[in-house]
Amino acid sequence: MTSRWALAPLLYLLVASTAFAQDDAAVTAAYEHAAQALNAFEQGRNTEALDEFSRAHALVKLPSFAAYMARANVKLGHYLAAAALYDEATRLEDGPGEHEAQQNAREEAQREGQALLARIPRLVVQTPGIPIQLAAIQVDGIAIASTALAEGWRVDPGVHRVTAQTGDQKLEQTEPVSEGVTKTVVFVFQPAKTSNGRQMQPKQPDQYPPESGTNAFRNATWVSFGIGGTALAFWGVTGLIAVEEKPAEWNCATTSSAYCRWRTLSTIGFYTGLVGVGTGTVLLLATPSAPTRHQSGAQVRPWVGVGSAGVSGQF
């Protein structure tokens, strides 16, 4: 119960501003509501006191009115509304009130508001298994930002209904929250299921496809090795045929013998093979490194020899 001396600033206003109030009907009505509010507040009728102080405050904005509205809200357990009114009281000017009384009201509102903040409970919501940002959360039917609930959302003391929804799963808990405590509410969602009813498992690193850039380099590397190997094999075959066709006397500058034709084809195959293998080697060295993976399945490696080429591997 608030002592009589704590009501003195407002009582002083009611008697000290009589002359001003007689010239202003709004101020007179505000003070009449305030007088009834003071009487109700002293007798513990806090709902009635809050209603009358609200009527007075709607007519005349005074620090004293805001401070007493805050006190009535505290009595009713409306801590959030009280904190907002205490803050308002510290910022209001004197208005038609007496300066010293209003200054006292502002100072009292500052002290009482700071003390109230430590008494306001908080709700913390956790969603292990999924990022909290993926859940739509409501407290008493009001949507609250998930990040705010992760840090601690201020609520009035009492029982609160908390719901969280992600996809087609909606969970609900009713939690009593006491003054000055931080209550943690945990929602555990079931893993999503595939069409056959099995639970989806997180992908392992080996299941992720390689990056597109790495694929392009690898494809170009194997194509180059393939072309080079084929060309070198062609060089070996045509070279052997040219040796067999080589006559005792020849001059490819003036004749077009079979030897000269095979010799030309062999030369083309040789240089084409060198270019292909060289390009493949450069691309192989320039291919971006991929994450280490377990070796499984078929592995193929190109090989090139004198007069022949191919691939080897394990399966």
Same fold for the domain at 4-117 and the one at 122-191?
Answer: no
**pLDDT of res. 1:** 39
CA–CA distance, 112 with 86 (Å, rounded to integer)? 8
Q: Would you state the structure tokens that stand for residue 231, as one six-digit string?
A: 């060309």
CATH no. for 4-117: 1.25.40.10
Domain ranges across the chain: 4-117, 122-191, 213-288+297-314
**pLDDT of res. 247:** 67
Given a cut of 90, whether residue 216 has pLDDT beyond it is: no
Residue with tokens 């709902």: 47
**Contact present, 175 and 157 (Cβ < 8 Å):** no
**pLDDT of res. 71:** 96
- Alpha-carbon radius of gyration of the chain: 44
**pLDDT of res. 303:** 54
**pLDDT of res. 212:** 56
Q: Of 132, 121, 111, 103, whose CA–CA distance to 12 is shortest? A: 103
pLDDT classification of 206: cutoffs 50, 70, 90: very low
Which residues does 88 contact at the CB level (< 8 Å), separation at least 6?
A: 66
- Stated length of the chain: 315
**pLDDT of res. 179:** 93
Given a cut of 90, whether residue 50 has pLDDT beyond it is: yes
**Contact present, 147 and 208 (Cβ < 8 Å):** no
Q: Who has greater pLDDT, 151 or 210?
A: 151
- CATH architecture label of 122-191: Sandwich (2.60)
E strand spans, the chain: 122-126, 136-139, 142-144, 153-154, 158-166, 169-177, 182-186, 299-305, 308-314
Q: Of 134-148, 257-271, 280-294, which range is least confident? A: 280-294
pLDDT classification of 191: cutoffs 50, 70, 90: confident
**pLDDT of res. 202:** 44
pLDDT tens, 82-139?
999 999 999 998 877 678 888 999 999 999 999 999 999 999 999 998 999 999 999 9
Given a cut of 90, whether residue 190 has pLDDT beyond it is: no
**pLDDT of res. 283:** 72
**pLDDT of res. 236:** 76
**pLDDT of res. 310:** 55
Q: Is 130 helix (H, G, I), strand (E, B) or coil?
A: coil
pLDDT tens, 225-274?
778 778 677 777 777 776 777 666 656 665 667 767 777 777 887 778 77
**pLDDT of res. 2:** 44
**Contact present, 21 and 28 (Cβ < 8 Å):** yes
CA–CA distance, 75 with 158 (Å, rounded to integer)? 13
Residue 198 has a CB neighbour count (10 Å cut-off) of 9
**pLDDT of res. 146:** 84
**pLDDT of res. 38:** 92
